[in-house]
Amino acid sequence: MLENENKPHRYLLYIGQNYSFEILRPLQQELRNLNIEVVWFVSGNEVDVSLFQSDEKVLISVIDVLRYNPTVTLVPGNEVLYFLPGIKVQVFHGLESKKKRRILLKGFYDLYCTCGKAQTKRFRQLASKHGYFDVVETGWPKLDSLYSARPLAEYKQATKPIVLYAPTFSEKLTSAYALFSQFELLSQQDEYFILIKFHPKMDPACIAKYRRICNENMQIVETNSIAALLQTADVMVSDTSSVVSEFSLLNKPVVTLNNVQPEKHFFNFSNPLDLIKQLELATQKLRNGEEIVPQSYINDLHSFRDGFSAKRVISAVEHILENGKQNNGPKPINFFRKFKQRKKFNYWEF
């Protein structure tokens, strides 16, 4: 018997970072279309609560969530409170592009909604091995708006190539410091129009440096929705940010500094002074009308182009609620992880 199976379904959107809004809101809209109840839970203190819309109901305490008694919890991150009622569903916080990266299973999820064929294959192997969770290939809800998004008109009027710079925030992996002098040089030239989109967790001091060199050739864009920016740009510059995978789905060139596992179609380089040279190579290939990203890579990364991934996620969840899981083995005991969760939220009731 599933918990709450005879009661109206209630969904909980579990958010711990601002970037999760773009992932979870398509799911919220689909639930609203189906007249299914849905609320949000803010986990931790890294979410800007001012970003919630006036018609979104938000819970901020574990006690409130337990009183709400969710049937389903949808989570983009790796962590979810194990003692919440209902089934727990992982919808991922980025595309799985690094096929050799180790997957850390926390032992808390009942369903993984995968993005594409490569990720599905890996998780189904793990499901067969561990036996306590199901895997359904649904596509990634964040990308529902990618193909329908319109380029930003105020920028597409530019007569020169539009470059989107979107570095990751991690000090170990970011290119923002190493490439600053090159972007300063580019801002003084007239070859490209550069848009900069920083990760919400980027060091404010680094952002301030870039802000000082902005001019008619370079702008920092403040937005929580990146789909229109991806459609607007002709070329992306980044590093090991997961956004390079999203941009690749549009068959556009990606220029990366020290990507930890560069794909063959990346214009990857290790010397920051080579940025301008790599940009020239990328834009030349674009002008030639060549296939930039192999179709096989796109299909493996994300299997759908129809904008209905959120619908598939909810359909997969509802199927489990009505029929139960295929893999019903016991979840790992995970005593230490469970203790850490209870300690973090100071919740000790059983």
pLDDT in tens, 186-232: 999 999 999 999 988 899 999 999 999 999 999 999 887 789 999 99
Q: Are residues 197 and 288 in the same domain?
A: yes
Same-domain pairing of 115 and 244: no
Measuring CA to CA, how many Å separate 274 from each of 40, 136, 179?
A: 45, 42, 10
Same domain, 289 and 309: no
For position 99, what pLDDT does the model report?
A: 43
Q: Are residues 208 and 339 in the same domain?
A: no
Distance between CA atoms of 101 and 81, rounded to whole angstroms? 24
Distance of CA 266 to CAs 171, 279, 297, Å? Answer: 22, 11, 12
Tell me what pLDDT residue 7 has: 65
Q: Which of 132, 73, 145, 125 minimizes the C-alpha distance to 106?
A: 132
Quick one: CA dihedral 3, 45, 24, 125, positive or negative? negative
Domain count, the chain: 2
CATH number at residue 31: 3.40.50.2000
Residue 327 has pLDDT above 70, yes or no: yes
Q: Are residues 16 and 130 in the same domain?
A: yes
pLDDT at 260 over 60: yes
Query: Rounded to whole angstroms, how far apart are CA atoms 141 and 151?
Result: 20
Q: Is pLDDT above 50 for 4?
A: no
Q: For the chain, give the percent of residues with pLDDT over 90.
A: 79
**What's the chain's average pLDDT?**
92
Q: Supply the pTM of this predicted model.
A: 0.89
Report how far Cα 133 is from the mean position of its chain's Cα atoms.
22
Give how far Cα 34 sits from Cα of 176, 289, 311, Å. 43, 43, 10
The domain of 237 spans 153-301
